[in-house]
Amino acid sequence: MASTTSEPGGGSGDTSGVAPEGQRLQKVLSAAGIASRRVGEQLIVAGRVRVNGRVVTELGSRIDPARDRVDVDGTAVQLDPRKRYVMFNKPVGVVSSLRDERGRPDLRGVTAEYEERLFNVGRLDADTSGLLLLTNDGELAHVLAHPSFGVEKTYIATVAGQVRPAALSRLTSGVELEDGPIAADRARLVGEPSRGSSLVELTLHSGRNRVVRRMLAEVGHPVTALVRRRLGPLRLGTLASGRTRDLTTVELGRLLTLAREHDGGA
């Protein structure tokens, strides 16, 4: 339960039996980069802030940032300033590992730039480029990476041949692979085929090894290049290959909201 209470003059909410501990809610919102204290107060009074699933409207309310969960307008807020979330556009040839036993380029060249001990959420094959999330938030990483939570991922694949509607239909209705059947959530052509190749956008929530390549090969269109463009609510956008950036407050809120929905949190 949130350690919420109201100070004298803070309102008439039910705060019986709760000790006046923790930090003021509007101060916590400000420290999290959500709003200035004045705007934070307006959000609280308007009933737009929840603590552990309960609307809090008292300006004197205090919470424990280490234990309590806060959301504004239904979007989760990260209260721990020690947590970091970094988007990386992984180039082809870089291994999704913090130490590669074969001596190939790995993620240490990226993570060394940050004070926090970051690790990758899930993996991309060495010959696949695109969006990779680096963080020191183990709970969130578990939700995003574990196949049972079914977080969507979107890829753009350059494939051999001209992809017909029948092939796209097979991808979404399901194909049989050596480790069992699987179906894409969505599949569509991007642009017009040219020079004997096509671009296919494939969205799925499976975490199987090299599953996109295997699915497309199964319908007769081997992949020649593959990039991940989306992971859950995160989009790669215009981030250049090999570059990193911290998630925005909006991106982080959407990501945490997704994680809390999957793990059953408030």
* Catalytic sites, residue numbers: 125
CA dihedral 168, 171, 175, 180 (to 10 degrees): 170
Three-class SS state of 115: coil
**13 vs 5: CA distance, rounded Å:** 8
- Closest-CA residue to 3 (of 18, 17, 16): 18
Cβ atoms within 10 Å, residue 7: 14
**Token duo for residue 195:** 């020079």
Cβ-count burial of 23 within 10 angstroms (0-12 exposed, 13-18 middle, 19+ buried)? Answer: middle
H or E element, residue 156: strand 153-160
In angstroms, the Cα distances linking 131 to 7, 103, 177, 209, 250 are 46, 23, 25, 16, 17
